[in-house]
Structure 1
Amino acid sequence: MVKQERALRTREALIKSAATVFDRDGFSVASLTAISSLAGVSNGALHFHFANKAALADSVEQAAAERLDRIVTAHEGTAGNALQLLVNASHDLAHLLAEDVVLRAGFELSRDQVRGGDQGLHRQWHEWVGAALKRADGEGVLSEVTPEAVASSVVAATTGFEVLGTQDPRWLSHSTVTRFWQLLLPRLAAASVLGDLVADGSRSK
């Protein structure tokens, strides 16, 4: 049991170290030596857990997908209409992209053309946003807009913040996301609920 726990801690340390190096250097430049050194383990220990750099990148993406899933499921079943829950989740996503290197690196890896990224995390976020907007439509809180068109716009903006935030963290700030929703909510929300919606997501906290 102790050996298994130690192996799990080593694997988690390697995933975090890989995310840090991928985030800093990019997948193509990142070296296994730099990753193992940052994790405080030997190259042999790294290869015991991961066959190669691609396998490490896959594990970083998987860990990021699990984090993204926790972000969105945290808002399932909570009070408020689906449009407010979408606002709240987008704030949480931006905050964790700024703070959590594994989540940030996972998004970067999912669009990395060198390793043939399949946009997995972006697709995961798009699917959840689309489902949330369909629920909002069913609740009668959307104005005369289609959930599909809104989903594309929201995903384009929020993932755009993620890309821009790699160079300037202000794109992932609470104020940036709030301003986005202040502009968009009057176009999306039915007049009967617009006054109850909070662009800064404060009612989710």
Structure 2
Amino acid sequence: MAEGEEEAARPQPRPTLALEAFRGTIVQAVKENRVTMIVGGTGCGKSSMIPQFLLEENLEPIMCTQPRRFAVVAIAQRVAHSRKSMLGQEVGYHIGHPNMKNLTSTRSKIVFKTAGVMLEQIRQHGIAALQYKVIILDEIHERSVESDLVLAIIKQFMMEKSDFKLVLMSATVDSTRYVDYFKDIGKVELITIPSIPCTNTFQREVHYLGVFN
């Protein structure tokens, strides 16, 4: 491979965010605890960066759920782009939409899914659907029947099987409820990403569509 091609194939540098300072803490917590909860504000980068932290520490394969199909595809695209990988190879997604191709392969080390897809796979394959080293349930404050069922089933499987690690992530959630819910599994390591100046987060802009008569 030519020098220029080799350089292009390397993952792109991630933006410098406050979350980077917590990389070692997050990785160590996941390695040492069966359940880890990470609370960090919107825009701090946890959805796209934490799976990469874990991948780079060989804690893979990794499965991440998002509450909406759009978020699944958007974050998978962002992570694949960051890693200079074609979507569907190292990074894939599965949303179950009949009119949209689900991009995963046997080479996928990070897979993003909706809670509904995960629930259907558990229904079909049981605990075999959870053959991952780390399972990340993101945006857990956005509760639904599907996400609550996934949470309950995972807890039940964790009481019978200890092979995978569980990471819970949210921007705003009552962490004490989840710590109490998983106390039968063991200690829940809680990591809080402090609020930081907006110059160090992904910028967010609000645009309003005008209505013209």
Work out which structure has the larger RCO, using CA pairs closer than 8 Å and 6 or more positions apart in sequence. 2
Shorter-normalised TM range: under 0.3
Decide which structure has greater helix share: 1
Larger radius of gyration: 1
TM-score normalized with structure 2 length = 0.25
Decide which structure has greater strand share: 2
